[in-house]
């Protein structure tokens, strides 16, 4: 799973209106923070007439996100729940009955796999797990850190076809026909869950799950946009590369600075190029702005593994915008990205 850190900045822009004989109840700004969802920090920001009313909304969002978290988890079991880990554990065996939320996610994954010629491939778990293990070992024991072995990666890459994932919508089951194929939905699941929650939430909230930021509408107090900060990939640089205006939609960033380990002084991050089976080497970070958080999550990974020309073609297909940051710190914008820049 990929963790992205995008700082949230709230802009207070006052709009003067006409006088009215009846005043609406004044709304105050509140926020809630949770630490247990998708192994990252979740923050919900919004306006309400009382803290009690806001916290009730925030708790409802938390509870719904928790359900998605458990269903999409590839590492942990939960009593009474067949999740992605359950499906992986049964690879090569019988179909697994799952919740409709799992069916819907994997249908979305299949659509993206086909539309991106495999650049977004949630059936790459066999390859990603090798890098996950190598990274964890390298973080625990830096002096003996090592790369994943090429032979093991090549062998695992033979078992990454999404065609092995059989989705039976009528029966409500998922089956992996190849016993060596593993699902890893980290490139999509968090954003997908945020999007589903946002669609069911009141307008005028800002929801961030590990930096997958989604605005459900402008601020209700004055209809002004939210402001989202994009972190620099350089730790010693200014805190934000830019702040962006967002009224309704999502901002997601993938970067080489978020999850990585060092081998012989070289940084190896968690975003794997499906062509080379090694960490992608095109960019330091990619920021996506688009209406759908699940799509933004997927595109941020896909564009990280593509050159600018191929990435722009993918953006055009989905009517999304992007900012690339290269190894020298140069910022490259898609044609419409500058329309969102505040500072």
pLDDT in tens, the chain (343 residues): 444 434 443 333 323 233 344 455 689 999 999 998 998 999 999 999 999 999 999 999 999 999 999 999 999 999 999 999 999 999 999 999 999 999 999 999 999 999 999 999 999 999 999 999 999 999 999 999 999 999 999 999 999 999 999 999 999 999 999 999 999 999 999 999 999 999 999 999 999 998 799 999 999 999 999 999 998 988 656 678 999 999 999 999 999 988 889 999 999 999 999 999 999 999 999 999 999 999 999 999 999 999 999 999 999 999 999 999 999 999 999 999 999 999 9
Question: Where on the phi/psi map is residue 147: left (φ > 0), alpha (ψ -120 to 50), or beta?
Answer: beta
Domains of the chain: 8-13+26-73+204-340 (3.10.520.10), 84-176 (1.10.3980.10)
Instruction: Give the predicted TM-score (pTM) of the model.
Output: 0.89
The pair of three-digit structure tokens given for residue 268, joined into one six-digit string = 């190896």
Question: Tokens at residue 215, please?
Answer: 């605005």
Give every CB contact of residue 37 below 8 A, 6+ residues apart in sequence: 62, 65, 66, 69, 209
CA distance 292 to 289: 9
What are the angstrom distances between the C-alpha of 48 and each of 24, 31, 65, 171, 283? 12, 10, 21, 43, 40
Helix (H) or strand (E) holding 54: helix 51-72
Per the CB < 8 A criterion, the answer to whether 85 and 77 are in contact is: yes
CB within 8 Å of 190: residues ≥ 6 apart: 1, 38, 40, 209, 210, 212, 297
């Amino acid at each position: 799973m990929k963790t992205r850190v995008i700082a949230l900045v709230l802009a207070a822009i006052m709009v003067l209106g006409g006088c009215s004989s009846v005043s609406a109840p004044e709304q105050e700004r509140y926020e809630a923070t949770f630490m247990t969802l998708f192994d990252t920090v979740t923050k919900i920001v919004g306006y309400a007439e009382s803290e009690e009313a806001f916290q009730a909304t925030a708790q409802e969002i938390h509870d719904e996100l928790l359900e998605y978290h458990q269903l999409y988890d590839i590492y942990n079991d939960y009593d009474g729940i067949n999740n992605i880990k359950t499906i992986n554990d049964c690879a090569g065996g019988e179909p697994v009955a799952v919740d409709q939320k799992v069916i819907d996610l994997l249908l979305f994954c299949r659509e993206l796999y086909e539309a991106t010629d495999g650049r977004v491939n949630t059936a790459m778990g066999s390859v990603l797990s090798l890098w996950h293990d190598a990274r964890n070992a390298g973080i625990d024991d830096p002096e003996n850190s090592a790369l994943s072995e090429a032979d093991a990666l090549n062998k695992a890459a033979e078992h990454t076809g999404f065609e092995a994932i059989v989705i039976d919508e009528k029966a409500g089951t998922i089956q992996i026909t190849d016993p060596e194929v593993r699902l890893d939905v980290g490139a999509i699941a968090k954003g997908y869950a945020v999007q589903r929650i946002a669609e069911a939430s009141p307008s005028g909230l800002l929801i961030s799950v590990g930096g997958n930021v989604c605005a459900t509408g402008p601020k209700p107090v004055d209809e002004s946009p939210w402001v989202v900060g994009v972190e620099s990939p350089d730790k010693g640089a200014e805190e934000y590369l830019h702040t962006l205006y967002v009224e309704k939609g999502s901002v997601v960033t993938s970067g080489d600075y978020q999850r990585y380990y060092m081998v012989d002084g070289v940084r190896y991050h968690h975003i794997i190029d499906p062509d080379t089976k090694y960490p992608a080497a095109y960019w330091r970070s990619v920021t996506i702005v688009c209406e759908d958080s699940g799509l933004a999550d997927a595109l941020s990974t896909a564009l990280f593994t593509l050159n600018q020309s191929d990435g722009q073609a993918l953006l055009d297909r989905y009517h999304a915008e992007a900012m690339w940051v290269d190894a020298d710190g140069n910022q490259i914008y898609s044609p419409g990205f500058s329309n969102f820049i505040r500072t």
